[in-house]
Amino acid sequence: MTVADNRPIGLFDSGVGGLTVLNAARQALPGENLIYLGDTARVPYGTKSPLSITRYAEQALKALLRYDIKALVVACNTASAVALDALQSSYPELQIIGVIEPGAQAAVNMTRSGKIGVIATESTVNNQAYQKAILSLLPDANVKSAACSLFVALAEEGWHDGELVEAIVKRSLSGLFDHYRGGAEYPDTLVLGCTHFPALKLAISRVVGDKVSLVDSAVTTAAVMKKQLTERGLLNPGSTGYVRFLVTDGPERFARVAPLFYSEAVEPDQVELIDIQHFA
Ligand code: DGL
């Protein structure tokens, strides 16, 4: 007989973006208890140095370990790109899942031409984590990336659509698309390599055209969570898991902005303010 493991799963992001992953996890694993940590005091991560991002990720993990988590999801591409290896080697006994590999796998499954664009934060692009992950699955792929750090602020402000947003999207994507328009090099797949970016999906799709498939790694990450928890006997089947929210700043703002990324209601009193900066 399989024994249900009702310890929670921890998820973290720099802010609200990782709620897109939380959404997908709720759908795929309704019985799991989920604790989401948004490091809202230090968002954005995407323009910070690898040293700072790794320290922030380690502090988030240590904070979540206090809740006796059975697994950790790094629901942030920037932290996955920069710090996943360090976290996995410091905590080999903990199941730690990042969003880059599931996103790369989804892109490879989707592309027909092998021409893949990746948009992400500056740190994720500099780290080339998506290139490496995609090329290891599809060595002939042609992968081009662009940093779109402004999108994080647009997404958090709730500016998801409209003329101004499209103009910013167009300018940010020009290096990836304009030059190749009508040619064989034009990507057929675009990876939204930041958990904030799915909020701008409509504007992005208008700019690149409906022949380009957009990859959002949230759903594939949730599928990987389910597979790995099942393989390790860590699953909590059923349909009544709870969700808790922890933030490092501004619980009211978090509750206000959350519905832009998350399909369930979040009341301010469900969001707990914690300090994680003291973790060495
Ligand atoms: N949502 C995060 C990501 O997936 C980072 C955004 C930021 O803090 O810069 O990369």
pLDDT in the model for residue 119: 97
CATH 3.60.15.10 fits 101-217, yes or no: no
Q: What is the pTM of this model?
A: 0.94
**Which residue out of 9, 100, 194, 243 is catalytically annotated?**
194
**Phi then psi for 234, rounded to 5 degrees?**
-105, 5
From 119, 152, 197, 221, the mutation candidate for ligand 1 (largest count of ligand atoms within 8 A of CB) is: 152
d(CA 15, CA 152): 10
Token duo for residue 171? 């300018």
How crowded is residue 159: how many other Cβ atoms within 10 Å of its Cβ? Answer: 17
The DSSP secondary-structure symbol of 114 reads: S
pLDDT in the model for residue 2: 59
From 39, 78, 130, 221, the mutation candidate for ligand 1 (largest count of ligand atoms within 8 A of CB) is: 78
**Phi then psi for 133, rounded to 5 degrees?**
-65, -40
pLDDT in the model for residue 117: 96
Sheet containing 9-13, strands listed edge to edge, beginning at the edge strand earlier in sequence: 95-97, 71-74, 9-13, 34-38, 243-247, 271-273
DSSP 142-205: EEEEEE-THHHHHHHHT--SSHHHHHHHHHHHHHHHGGGTTSTTS-SEEEEESTTGGGGHHHHH
For residue 2, the CA-to-ligand 1 centroid distance in Å is 37
Every domain range in the chain assigned CATH 3.40.50.1860: 9-98+219-273, 101-217
Note the pLDDT tens digit of each residue in 46-63. 999 999 999 999 999 999
Strand ranges (DSSP E) for 77-233? 95-97, 115-120, 142-147, 189-193, 213-216
Question: Residues lining ligand 1, judged by CB closer than 6 Å?
Answer: 13-15, 17, 43-46, 76-78, 121, 124, 152, 194-196
For residue 44, the CA-to-ligand 1 centroid distance in Å is 6
> Could you tell me which of 194, 199, 207 has the C-alpha nearest to residue 167?
207
pLDDT in the model for residue 27: 95
pLDDT in the model for residue 15: 93
For residue 235, the CA-to-ligand 1 centroid distance in Å is 28
**Phi then psi for 70, rounded to 5 degrees?**
-95, -15
For the question of residue 194 being annotated catalytic, the response is yes
pLDDT in the model for residue 197: 95
CATH 2.60.40.10 fits 9-98+219-273, yes or no: no
For residue 123, the CA-to-ligand 1 centroid distance in Å is 9
pLDDT in the model for residue 4: 85
Give pLDDT < 50 ranges for the chain: none
